[in-house]
Amino acid sequence: MQPTVKKSGESVQYCEYLPDVTLQNVIFCYWELKTTKPLDTPFTYRVVADGCIDIYFEINNIQESYVMGFCNKYTEFELKNSFHYIGIRFLPTMFPQVFKIDASQLSNQYINLEIVSNETHAFLMNSLHAVSEFDIIRKKLDYFFKDLISRTAFNFDTRLYNAIHVILQQQGVLNIQKDLNVGISSRQLRRLFDLYIGTTPKSFSKVVRFQNILRAKPSSKSLKENKLFYDSGYYDQAHFIKEFKTFYGVTPTKAFGR
């Protein structure tokens, strides 16, 4: 979830769209972040930790397209007062397989797409130049990625995916050493997570736990009354607030309201 831009009738809009059904086990969503009218001042866009890898670009300046790797904290981007960004968010483990790259090389940074995939960069430059209607953009992205993925040999290592399944099933609340008994050593498992996700099992679990709290959409009041942070494996409220702020950029009170 990327909830920092509220879905309202204001001057900045953020929307997510499903790709073609044949792509939905690889691509989580396409997204669009745009101004509906020029702003009075530049806009700060905050990206929360979500465990995914994204391609993104400004539709009016596709030359500067980027890949953003797994991040273990929030990231802020200072945007101009008028913009129209498009993104492709890949499910964990998918991007490094499609683009044949070690995910750890992308972690906690954004780099030029042309360095990672000249083919994808060239497609965006040649096919989306001067296109602004999202339905057309989505169809072109579907066409490109269906072809690209049809040429991809995926490695569905059951040890890695069994570990991910446990983490998701436990909502990120688990003992890494005891609960991730998937038939390989912790060192080997960490190597697989670095290669395909870009971080350690422990760090990925923390992001899953954080994302599950976002999905629950609690109010600040209910967080205090129901002690959700205890159920989510935090030691105390201070621990919860500190980690939440690391991933989101603001406290739970500011994120969820009173």
User: What pLDDT, on the 0 to 100 scale, is given for residue 243?
Assistant: 94
In angstroms and rounded to an integer, the radius of gyration of the C-alpha atoms of the chain is 19
Neighbours of 35 (CB within 10 A): 18
User: What pLDDT, on the 0 to 100 scale, is given for residue 10?
Assistant: 77
Among all chains, which residue has been given the structure tokens 């967080």?
223
Nearest partner of 151 among 114, 198, 101, 97, judged by Cα? 97
The pTM (predicted TM-score) of the whole model is: 0.93
User: What pLDDT, on the 0 to 100 scale, is given for residue 250?
Assistant: 93
User: What pLDDT, on the 0 to 100 scale, is given for residue 133?
Assistant: 93
Residues 5/33, Cβ–Cβ less than 8 Å = yes
Residues 128/137, Cβ–Cβ less than 8 Å = yes
Taking CA 179 as the corner, what is the angle to CA 174 and CA 181, rounded to the nearest 5 degrees?
155
Residues 88/54, Cβ–Cβ less than 8 Å = yes
CA distance 230 to 61: 46
Please list the pLDDT of the chain residue by residue as tens digits (258 residues). Answer: 999 886 545 799 999 999 999 999 999 999 999 999 999 999 999 999 999 999 999 999 999 999 999 999 999 999 999 999 999 999 999 999 999 999 999 999 999 999 999 999 999 999 998 888 999 999 999 999 999 999 999 999 999 999 999 999 999 999 998 999 999 999 999 999 999 999 999 999 999 999 998 988 776 677 766 677 777 878 788 888 999 999 999 998 888 875
Tell me the CATH number for domain 158-256.
1.10.10.60
Residues 54/113, Cβ–Cβ less than 8 Å = no
**Looking at beta carbons, which pairs linking 8-14 to residues 24 or more positions away fall under 8 Å?**
10/36, 11/35, 11/36, 11/37, 11/39, 12/36, 12/39, 12/43
Phi and psi for 231 in degrees, rounded to 5?
-65, -25
CA distance 230 to 152: 42
For 106-152, the DSSP string reads TTTSEEEHHHH-HHHHHHHHHHSTT---HHHHHHHHHHHHHHHHHT-
User: What pLDDT, on the 0 to 100 scale, is given for residue 117?
Assistant: 97
3-state secondary structure of 157: coil
